[in-house]
Amino acid sequence: MTTVAILSAMELRRSSALQTYVDQFREAGADEVTIITLGPLTHWREDDPKPLVLDAGVAARRRSRRPWNKAKAERLTLRGPRWRMARLLKSNAAARRIIDDADYVYVDQPAAVLGAWKLAQKRKSTPFVTSPTRVIRLLENQ
């Protein structure tokens, strides 16, 4: 059984781009597609896999006033999404299990790269790929 894990740094958005990739991976031969997202996403379809959300409380926090300079400060410091994602991945056992079970990992969005890179250092045999086309080719060639 071939499993593809999608590791996405998206949060608080609709999920249609990921849905396209889920369909394409399945079509290319993935038996199972699992998803990890940084924050909650909307508009999931019934047959989409249930995502593991690393930071489920982000929506509540964002309801508070967030001036642009605060958001920018976050991006430029260790509180930005790259670092937050890396920290959450490190501490989330369920997420690590999903990655361990995956044959291929699709890394969606540059903000997910740092976390993925740290995981990849310990899992040299599993391809962590940032291009969906390349995942499809790997699936087709297996």
Partner 1 sequence: MAGIITDQGPLHRAGAQSPSCSLRVQEWFTVTKHLLYIAWGFAPARTGGVYRAVATANAFVEAGWKVTVLAAPEDSYERYIGVDMSMNDAVDPRVNVVRVPFTWATQETDVREFSRARAYLGSRSYNRIRSRLDRIPFPEHNYGQWRGALEDAVEKVHAEDPVDLTIATANPNVDFQGAYHLNRKAGVPFVMDYRDGWRLDVFDGGYLFPEKSRVARLEKRYLEAAQEAWFVNDAIRVWHQKEYPFAADKMQVVMNGWDPALFGEREAATPPADGPMRFGYLGTITPKVPLESLMKGWTLAKEQGHLPADATLEVGGYLGYFATPRGDLAAVLDAARDAGVTFVGQVHKGQVRDFYARQDALVLALGEGRYVTSGKVFEYAATGKPIISVHAPTNDSSNVLREYPLWTAVPEVTPEAIATTLGETVTQLKQASAEDYAAALTFGEALRRDAQLAPRIDALATEVSA
One character per residue 1-40, x = contact with partner 1 (rule: CB under 8 A): ---------x--xx-xx--x---x----------------
- For the CB of residue 24, give the shortest distance to partner 1 in the complex, in Å: 6
Distance CA(139)–CA(141), nearest Å, equals 5
What is the rounded distance in angstroms from the CA atom of residue 85 to the CA atom of residue 124?
A: 20
| Residues in CB range of 133: below 8 A, 6 or more apart | none
Contact 12, 39 (CB under 8 A): yes
d(CA 13, CA 53): 13
- Binders of partner 1 among 98-137, rule CB under 8 A? 105, 107-110, 113-114, 116-118, 120, 124, 127-134, 137
Which residues are at the interface with partner 1 (CB under 8 A)?
A: 10, 13-14, 16-17, 20, 24, 43, 82, 105, 107-110, 113-114, 116-118, 120, 124, 127-134, 137
